[in-house]
Amino acid sequence: MLTMEDIIREGHATLRQVAEPTDIPPNEEDKKTLQSMMDFLLHSQDPEIAEEYNLRPGVGIAAPQINIPKRMIAVRTTNHKDELEEYGLFNPKIISHSAETTFLESGEGCLSVDREITGTVPRYSRIKVEGYDLNGEKVVKRFRGFLAIVFQHEIDHLNGIMFYDRIDEDDPYKETLPPKEVINRTEHEEPLS
Ligand code: NB4
Ligand code: NI
């Protein structure tokens, strides 16, 4: 089972590399790795297991964080309807996104970063992701709200990007203005938790 000791921290070169695509269909070793990443999220969200193994809670993890420079991510969280959404994807890719951007009010953290970093991390409000699941089946799905932010944080890791790279260093709390055509949108996003 994966624990915090398996997670590499900022300063480690792997976190700055562009990860390699996996085989499709996925090989058994990569499938085992991805399953262990999904298990880590489950464990980290179980108060008893998390306490026993000293796990920080996580809603996402990317393979480079366990020092495997391959394009694999796991995401596990609830959506705006409070339903569990769980994904393990090989070679995930954002194939389209909104012009509108958003950010997590409470900022972002990272299992590979052992310090608090405050500031606005701009993210697309809505994305369409393509990838392959544990069975090697193609998945194409739209995400918005918190889930969209988690996917962008994880896909960034596959490209060697850390969340704080996206904070404006001269104006850390800068709020990126939405593009003109969506400022007057009538539809409201659910509040981001
Ligand atoms: C990835 C996230 C950082 C910001 C916001 C938040 C948590 C992570 C990092 C976007 C993606 C891990 C991977 C949480 C968390 C809220 C929901 C449901 C019940 C506990 C869980 C706690 F754990 N970040 N941790 N950080 N990363 N919310 N929640 N809750 O997951 O570095 O690259 O279980
Ligand atoms: Ni992270």
Calculate what percentage of the chain has a pLDDT beyond 70: 91
Q: Considering the domain boundaries, does residue 107 fall inside one? A: yes
Q: Considering the domain boundaries, does residue 149 fall inside one? A: yes
Q: Considering the domain boundaries, does residue 188 fall inside one? A: no
- pLDDT digit string (tens) for 67-100? 999 999 999 999 989 999 999 999 999 999 999 9
Q: Indicate the average pLDDT of the chain.
A: 93
Q: What is the pTM of this model?
A: 0.93
Question: Is 110 a known ligand-binding residue?
Answer: yes
Question: Is 188 a known ligand-binding residue?
Answer: no
pLDDT band at 177 (very low <50, low <70, confident <90, very high): low
Span 12-32, average pLDDT: 98
pLDDT band at 178 (very low <50, low <70, confident <90, very high): low
Q: Does the CA dihedral 131-133-135-139 come out positive or negative?
A: negative
Specify the residue with its C-alpha closest to ligand 1, atom 5. 108
Q: Could you give the residue numbers annotated as active site?
A: 154
Q: 179 pLDDT exceeds 60?
A: no
Q: 187 CA to middle of ligand 1, Å?
A: 26
Q: 79 CA to middle of ligand 2, Å?
A: 19
CATH number at residue 39: 3.90.45.10
Q: Considering the domain boundaries, does residue 193 fall inside one? A: no
Q: Are strands 138-144 and 101-102 parallel, antiparallel or unpaired?
A: unpaired
Q: 181 CA to middle of ligand 1, Å?
A: 31
Structural domain total, the chain = 1
Q: Considering the domain boundaries, does residue 143 fall inside one? A: yes
Specify the residue with its C-alpha closest to ligand 1, atom 16. 59
Query: Which residue among 7, 59, 108 has the greatest number of ligand 1 atoms within 8 angstroms of its CB, and so is best to mutate?
Result: 59
Strand order in the sheet with 72-78: 60-62, 72-78, 84-97, 126-132, 138-144
CA distance 98 to 29: 35
Q: Considering the domain boundaries, does residue 189 fall inside one? A: no
Closest CA to 164 of 119, 102, 114: 119
Domain limits for position 136: 4-183
Q: 188 pLDDT exceeds 60?
A: no
Question: Is 43 a known ligand-binding residue?
Answer: no
Q: Considering the domain boundaries, does residue 46 fall inside one? A: yes
- pLDDT digit string (tens) for 126-159? 999 999 999 999 999 999 999 999 999 999 999 9
Return the pLDDT at 102: 97
